[in-house]
Amino acid sequence: MKPPETLLSTAENKFIMTKHDQKYTTEELAELFDNHMGSSIDTPLRSDAFHLSDEEKISQIAEKFEDIMHILGLDLSDDSLRGTPLRVAKMYVSEAFAGLNPSNKPEMKLFDNKYQYKDMLIEKNITVHSHCEHHFVPILGNCHIAYVPNGQVVGLSKLNRIVRHYSKRPQVQERLTRQIAEALMEGLGTPSVAVYLEADHMCVKTRGIEDAGSSTITMAFHGAFEDEIQRQYFLNAVQ
């Protein structure tokens, strides 16, 4: 795993940007990266993160979410609300944040490259359903990935499953992009991987600035895709 880049090298090499070519001052960029990048691409987890079973987590989350609803003044005796705490708890553990558990990571079974395919393989428009770790509201988008085989290939659905696994956890888009790229390089046994992710952040669209027209793009290029021609060929294919 590579050490985290500095602010400037991250901004230059990872091509993090916003739609409509929004400009940032150096101070604003520093604050942006302080808030979103952290010091590692690993999702922050405690050492005891998996001491509880899924069933125990669901039970405890349901109790606590019931407290939240009660504090908000909602009447949990109402037929429509009575089952909400349990539904939310099940959604968090079994769906929205299932990617936190490493036992759910899909296996990347490789096959011999019998066709001797040596060019880039692109998988476009992979659905991304994630959640912002700052407000726990959805991040919705599409991910395009590519790799150049290094003697072996993988079933196409595994590429989608890797994107889904790392999306299903509280995230920031920059980290998600890098986690997908690192997992693909490790699983595919090739350094030549590209990731392009465009997403809408509900924490931007539905709260705070309430900007419904913006989206965020992040990219990661490794191996052969560090070459400008290869990189541009990939970008032309996915944009």
How many alpha carbons lie under 13 Å from residue 216 in its C-beta half-sphere?
21
* Given 36, 129, 135, 152, the catalytic residue: 135
Both tokens assigned to 45 = 């987890």
Note whether 151 and 115 are within 8 A (CB): no
Known catalytic membership, residue 143: no
Both tokens assigned to 207 = 């709260």
Known catalytic membership, residue 210: no
Both tokens assigned to 66 = 């019931």
Known catalytic membership, residue 165: no
199 vs 31: CA distance, rounded Å: 21
22 vs 10: CA distance, rounded Å: 17
Q: Which of these, 104, 110, 118, lies nearest to 149 by C-alpha position?
A: 118
Q: Edge-to-edge, what's the strand order for the sheet holding 17-18?
A: 17-18, 216-221, 193-201, 138-147, 121-132, 170-171
236 vs 239: CA distance, rounded Å: 6
Known catalytic membership, residue 70: no
* Given 5, 123, 129, 203, the catalytic residue: 203
* Given 131, 132, 182, 230, the catalytic residue: 132
* Given 134, 186, 226, 232, the catalytic residue: 134
Known catalytic membership, residue 131: no
Known catalytic membership, residue 12: no
* Given 144, 201, 222, 230, the catalytic residue: 201
Known catalytic membership, residue 222: no
* Given 36, 129, 133, 152, the catalytic residue: 133
* Given 66, 143, 165, 173, the catalytic residue: 173
Positions annotated as catalytic residues are 132-135, 173, 201, 203
